[in-house]
Amino acid sequence: MNPASIMKLMSAKNRFTENHPKFAAFIRAVFSKGIEEGTIIEIQVTRPGENPMTSNIKVQQSDLELMRELRELVK
């Protein structure tokens, strides 16, 4: 990944954190303890005027490996 792409990605991440400070703090708190295999992550999306949609995943070892690789790219 070239430096310009990394800078653009970091800028977008910083903007997201500024726009959604509570969510960013939540993510930091969750990941500060680490995510382990077997953890269930659930997400719900509610669009205006629609019923909520919910889904979840049970974290597998391959998911943890992917997260580690993505973290290395951002460093």
- What are the structure tokens assigned to 54, written together? 């919910």
Evaluate whether 59 touches 39 at the Cβ level (below 8 Å): yes
pTM of this structure: 0.65
Summarised one tens digit per residue, pLDDT across range 16-72 is: 999 999 998 998 899 899 899 999 999 999 999 999 999 999 999 999 999 889 888
Where does residue 21 rank: exposed (0-12), middle (13-18), buried (19+ CB within 10 A)?
Answer: exposed
Any idea how long the chain is?
Answer: 75
